[in-house]
Amino acid sequence: MIKASDFGKHFLWGVATAAAQIEGTSDYYGKGPSIWDAFSHKVGKIKKGHKPNVACDFYHRFREDIAMVKLLGFRIFRFSIAWSRILPFGEGTINPEGIRFYHNVIDECLEQGITPYVTLYHWDLPQQLEEKGGWTSFSINRAFNDFVHICAKAYGDKVKHWMVINEPFGFTSLGYMLGLHAPGKTGLGNFFSAAHHTALAQAEGGKILRAEISNPTIGTTFSCSEILPYTQSDNDILVSKRVDCLMNRLFIEPTLGLGFPSENWEVLEKFQIEYGTWRHTERYKFDFDFIGLQNYFPLTVKYNAFIPVIQAWEVKAKSRKKPHTAMGWEINADGFYNIIKQFSSYPNIKNIIITENGAAYPDKLIDGHVHDVDRIEYFKLYLAALLKAKNEGMPITGYMAWTLMDNFEWAEGFTARFGLVYNDFKTQERTIKDSGYWWQAFLKS
């Protein structure tokens, strides 16, 4: 049986969260609205019309929740700062109440012996900035840089571990190309311009943190999925490479100084012409101390001429009769191992931390217990794959489980439960699931 000690004494174990998914108090204590507050008011955008304005009420319950992180045995708590809590309009006036709140969260972590890992941007753009074009506008970079300066100055003496951006591909594709997430924009033009500004923000944010904080450890996080062609036909292989370009390579390669990938595909070539200049390539580059990888599932794709632009169609796990989670995501730890290997093969990646990994299941609270056996099995499989990768010399130094407690799962509202702790959203009562207890025992092992 796999043990935490197999990963070595210095391996970092943590649990991850994000502000908009847990904090609540969306429009209290001086906070301005974020794009998720606005998006959740549009009809039909979020399952069951759920809204993030109370979420897990972490704003009032953070002390108990951090105590739970400790009880489960994690040494790291990853959380994000809500930009519009610090700057209600995204820029200009600072909200002292917001500054104070994160001081309290950080102090609580430190008092309980938990190391805070702070994400600067986990998808909750201030709505006022979105009204000026959001990530598609060039003015976003100045606003983001100011926000990073403010956070570095306020917390840099206490917080030494930072992540600049959470999954740039995740929010630029879902929010600016497909319109499924906030702010609900669509089209390639929006996507590429958002991608360009995000890649800049990521590097510039890293530079600011390094200049302002003494001895920081600076990372950023990327979503990643192994992409498999459905058959070995030329067309399936062709589209699997396109999807790989978009989902896996689009943001890591500019960060590493390689510029945006082109891969012989006219869509990306157009993007290259606009943003692939030497000047941009230099500005996208930053030597992060660690790269955060976030993986949940591999993706199988098939050529389909009727799908615009990418001509790829996902062949779902269910239709291939493969095991999957409540999100329909394939459970396949080989995919986890393979994608870590793919990222490890870039020449200049020094250090990888898995900053998210986990699974949603339709948990039921019965007589005060949640027997989430499937989630335990998922973690066992994925951790075994991680250990294999580490033992083969891939530079993996940490792992963070997604997520501490059931929360606001973006467009899924409260219908998808990913937590190690069950949350009753009516009473805010927390119940540690069997998977939480499994982690507790595992981390002692």
- Smallest gap from Cβ 96 to ligand BGC, in A, equals 28
Which residues fall within 8 angstroms of residue 84, CB to CB, at 6 or more apart? 31, 32, 33, 34, 90, 124, 125, 126, 127, 128
Is 356 marked active-site? Answer: yes
Give the Å distances, CA to CA, from 231 to 108, 228, 234, 240, 434: 52, 9, 9, 10, 39
Is 167 marked active-site? Answer: yes
> Which of 23, 167, 204, 330 does the annotation list as catalytic?
167
- CA neighbor of 280 nearest in space, from 264, 261, 252, 257: 257
Which residues fall within 8 angstroms of residue 396, CB to CB, at 6 or more apart? 340, 352, 353, 354, 386, 389, 390
- Smallest gap from Cβ 21 to ligand BGC, in A, equals 6
- Smallest gap from Cβ 418 to ligand BGC, in A, equals 6
Name the burial class of residue 312, with classes exposed (0-12), middle (13-18) and buried (19+) by CB atoms within 10 angstroms of its CB. Answer: buried
d(CA 191, CA 181): 13
177, two tokens: 């190309």
Evaluate the CA torsion angle 384, 389, 391, 392 in order and state its sign: positive
d(CA 296, CA 330): 8
Give the Å distances, CA to CA, from 445 to 7, 218, 388: 11, 29, 18
- Smallest gap from Cβ 444 to ligand BGC, in A, equals 27
Query: Considering beta carbons, is residue 11 or 296 the nearer one to ligand BGC?
Result: 296
Query: Considering beta carbons, is residue 40 or 95 the nearer one to ligand BGC?
Result: 40
d(CA 444, CA 428): 28
**Which residues lie across from 12 on neighbouring strands?**
398
Query: Considering beta carbons, is residue 176 or 230 the nearer one to ligand BGC?
Result: 176
- Smallest gap from Cβ 420 to ligand BGC, in A, equals 14
d(CA 9, CA 1): 18
d(CA 350, CA 291): 8
Name the burial class of residue 348, with classes exposed (0-12), middle (13-18) and buried (19+) by CB atoms within 10 angstroms of its CB. Answer: exposed
> Which of 204, 226, 356, 409 does the annotation list as catalytic?
356
Residue 186 · residue 179 · CB < 8 Å: yes
Q: Where does this chain bind ligand BGC (CB under 6 A)?
A: 18, 21, 166-167, 170, 223, 294, 356, 402, 409, 418
Name the burial class of residue 125, with classes exposed (0-12), middle (13-18) and buried (19+) by CB atoms within 10 angstroms of its CB. Answer: buried
Evaluate the CA torsion angle 370, 372, 375, 376 in order and state its sign: positive
Rounded to the nearest angstrom, the gap between the alpha carbon of residue 74 and the centroid of all alpha carbons in its chain is 19
Q: If DSSP codes are grouped into helix, strand and coil, which group holds residue 126?
A: strand
Q: If DSSP codes are grouped into helix, strand and coil, which group holds residue 313?
A: strand
CB count within 10 Å of CB 306 equals 6
Residue 236 · residue 310 · CB < 8 Å: no
Just list the catalytic residues.
167, 356
